[in-house]
Chain A
């Protein structure tokens, strides 16, 4: 019964996708909205990476919503993993003694940590010029913290600086949007001068917004990793 239901659901979806995709030939030009973005993107926003122009200028309100979704996921994970409060003393006694990582992994992780953080900063600062941006840079920063957790057993992340960073980054995004509303008449208006193409200080508010998103995503994903590592109570 269960297999029959599964296969009929799959067959329905295959038939539906095949019927709809047969009208969408692969690799043909069918852009309508995007032609406007491609033609006017650099003049409107100053960002030469047009994906960034779509994410942070034409669709910036959606990006605010997506960052909020990520924040809610991180919040829910923190609530679920800390909900049945264990007694602090018993948890410390019941913890197994974990074997320490080898010397190469420990020292290597401590050596690589600042370099990976720097690389993440490079990715989100250059988001309007090269591939990359806040989401990718934040993931790279969270990977650096993950490397520290994997390499050092005694490593603990203080949660207060993470929360402060995340809140300040979110407030920066909203305040920049509200200043745009006051200056130009609509939310997230690009009110700073566009600058010249291909230079770091160009594209108006887009580097500021992408730095805020990078710090916020990095803090949220680091918080997720820290919560997963620190709840060692089940087994």
Chain B
């Protein structure tokens, strides 16, 4: 069981690291935005996994807030890019 948790958390951390590497290296600003947005998605999955790991169902609310609101920042930057803000 511990090995399974280790696998899950390692995959999540690797995903975060890869997305942040794209966000740090990306030559243009849209690359960086997409990298950070991928990080948001993987972090939501990590939070759901951790709520099961800590055995507290109420922690799920934090992941819910991120899932509902996580796209608004990306939307703001996208509207800036098409000169709409």
- Residues of chain A touching chain B, judged by Cβ–Cβ distance below 8 Å, are 98-101, 105, 116, 119, 123, 130-132, 136, 140, 143, 146-147, 150-151, 153, 229
Interface size on B, residues (CB 8 A): 16
What chain A residues lie within 8 Å of B65 (beta carbons)?
A: 123, 136, 140
Given A101-B79, A150-B85, A153-B84, A140 and B69 contact (CB-CB distance below 8 Å): yes
Question: Closest residue to A126 on the B side, CB-wise?
Answer: B61
A116 CA to B67 CA in the complex, in Å? 11
**Are A119 and B59 closer than 8 Å at their CB atoms?**
no
Pairwise interchain contact B72-A150, C-beta atoms closer than 8 A:
yes
**Interface check B82, CB cutoff 8 A:** yes
- Residues of chain B whose beta carbon lies under 8 Å from any beta carbon of chain A: 58-59, 61-62, 64-65, 68-69, 72, 75-76, 79, 82-85
Q: How far is the CA of A131 from the CA of B58 in the complex (A)?
A: 7
What's the minimum C-beta distance from A221 to chain B, rounded to whole angstroms?
A: 13
Contact of B61 among A116, A130, A153, A229 (CB under 8 A): A130
A143 and B61 contact, CB distance less than 8 A: no
- Asked whether A150 lies within 8 Å of B59 as measured between CB atoms, the reply is no
Residues of B within 8 A of A140 (CB): 65, 68-69
Query: Would A131 and B61 count as touching, CB distance under 8 A?
Result: yes
In the complex, are the beta carbons of B58 and A99 less than 8 A apart? no
Report yes or no: A143 in contact with B69, Cβ–Cβ below 8 A: yes
CB distance from A27 to the nearest CB of B (A): 16
Write the nearest CB–CB distance from A131 to chain B, whole angstroms. 5
Given known pairs A131-B59, A140-B65, the reply for A99 and B83 (CB within 8 Å) is yes
Chain B residues in 8 Å Cβ range of A105: 75
A229 to B80, CA, bound (A): 13
Cβ-defined partner of B72 (8 Å) among A98, A100, A101, A143: A143
Chain A residues near B72 (CB, 8 Å)? 143, 146-147, 150
Asked if B84 contacts A131 (CB within 8 A), the reply is no
Residues of B within 8 A of A146 (CB): 72, 76
Q: What residues of A have a CB within 8 angstroms of the CB of B85 in the complex?
A: 98, 150, 229
**What 4 new A-B contacts, CB under 8 Å, besides A131-B62, A150-B75?**
A105-B75, A116-B69, A130-B58, A140-B65
- Give the 6 A-B residue pairs with the shortest CB-CB distance, closest first: A130-B58, A143-B69, A99-B84, A131-B61, A150-B75, A98-B84
CB distance from B51 to the nearest CB of A (A): 11
Contacting pair A123 B84 (CB below 8 A)? no
Name the B residues within 8 Å of A136 (CB-CB).
65
